[in-house]
Amino acid sequence: MTNTVPSQPVPSTISDVERDTGVAKETLRVWERRYDFPQPLRDPNGERVYPLEQVHKLRLVKRLIDLGFRPGKVIKFSAEELQALTGKATGLGNGPVTPAPELLSYLELCKSHQMEAMRRKLSQALLMMGLKSFVIELVAPLTTLIGEAWASGQLATFEEHLYTESLTVVMRSAIFAMPQANASNLGTPRILLTTLPQERHGLGLLMAEAMCVAEGAQCISLGVQTPLLDIVEAARVQRVDIIALSFSVAMNPRQALDGLAELHTRLGGCAELWAGGSNAALKRRKPAYVGVFELADLAGAIAEWRARHTSLSAG
């Protein structure tokens, strides 16, 4: 007896679409009535099911909404037009952009499910480049490319997850291999890394941790989706100096700003707030009480923190 692969992808339920795209069920129903999109089919029980191409388009629509566009302005466009508009809005679409062949080679390994080969290739690049260059020059642009491929339907969700897991294995090994910072040293910042409850993407957090460890910081990672009260309690118990949060483009910018404001209030100044990532909230209206840094800026930010705290201790 042989197993056959279905010729057509299984349509997604409305709950599947909500989890995949971040668009609430109620919003999907409103768009269906108001804009005639999406156009779900019905299963034998009369429940809505969404073809894969509609899910791909919804991902792109959601991303543009998070970048500040109104649903009614973008939902009428085709997936190709939405992809081009996303590129322009993020600064990646000022004309055709062809990713570097090296990055495309990783994408092809992911598409063909050669994950062991991908891990070997990533590990070899890490040895050749060193951790900081590996993160900034390879991992960051490659992760953006993988995300774009997933959003446009070139990669299935499980393939994007395979990439995430493969990269995590390589990055975690590299972080563990780094010399541990001396916690008793006044120039060693203790940094708590996590994401807010609505942010499930963790690669940005992992990249930030690698950069901080490479700069001699002591890092405590809580992983993703930590409740606010737990972040505050962990910061108190662990006596951290800095709380570093990662925000992907997928998180709602209003939720990001509201979460930062509440966390700032609850901390009461006991730790600095740092943030990074591609979320629009950090680019348009970054709060004054949050330090917003690119990955390449973290070395300078940690050096500046050391200068401040060593001068305070000397005084």
Q: What is the pLDDT of residue 97?
A: 54
Q: Are 67 and 172 found together in one domain?
A: no
Structure pTM? Answer: 0.80
CB atoms within 10 A of CB 177: 10
Q: What is the pLDDT of residue 33?
A: 94
Q: What is the pLDDT of residue 6?
A: 45
What is the pLDDT tens value at each position of the chain, 315 positions in all? 444 444 456 788 999 888 888 788 999 999 999 999 999 999 999 999 999 889 989 988 988 887 778 899 999 999 888 888 877 776 554 444 567 888 999 999 999 999 999 999 999 999 999 999 999 999 999 998 998 888 777 888 899 999 999 999 999 999 999 887 766 676 799 999 999 998 989 999 999 999 999 999 999 999 999 999 999 999 999 999 999 999 987 787 888 999 999 999 999 999 999 999 988 788 777 789 999 999 999 999 999 999 988 766 555
In a domain, 62, yes or no: yes
| Number of domains, the chain | 3
Q: Are 298 and 266 found together in one domain?
A: yes
Q: Are 124 and 155 found together in one domain?
A: yes
Q: Are 167 and 220 found together in one domain?
A: no
Residue that terminates a domain, selected from 89, 113, 128: 89
Contact 196, 245 (CB under 8 A): yes
Q: Are 41 and 155 found together in one domain?
A: no
CB atoms within 10 A of CB 94: 8
Q: In the block, which residue shows the tokens 């050096």?
A: 303
Helix axes 79-89, 52-66, angle to 10 degrees: 30
Q: In the block, which residue shows the tokens 């705290």?
A: 309
Q: What is the pLDDT of residue 2?
A: 40
Q: What is the DSSP secondary-structure string of 208-235?
A: HHHHHHHTT-EEEE--S---HHHHHHHH
Write the CATH number for 245. 3.40.50.280
Residue that terminates a domain, selected from 32, 57, 89: 89
Extract the tokens encoding 98: 């062809």
Domain that holds residue 211: 190-314
| CA dihedral sign of residues 279, 283, 289, 290 | positive
Write the CATH number for 142. 1.10.1240
Q: Which strands, in side-by-side order, build the sheet including 12-13?
A: 12-13, 48-50, 41-42
Q: Are 307 and 233 found together in one domain?
A: yes
In a domain, 7, yes or no: no
Q: Are 252 and 202 found together in one domain?
A: yes
| CA dihedral sign of residues 165, 168, 173, 176 | negative
Q: What is the pLDDT of residue 8?
A: 59
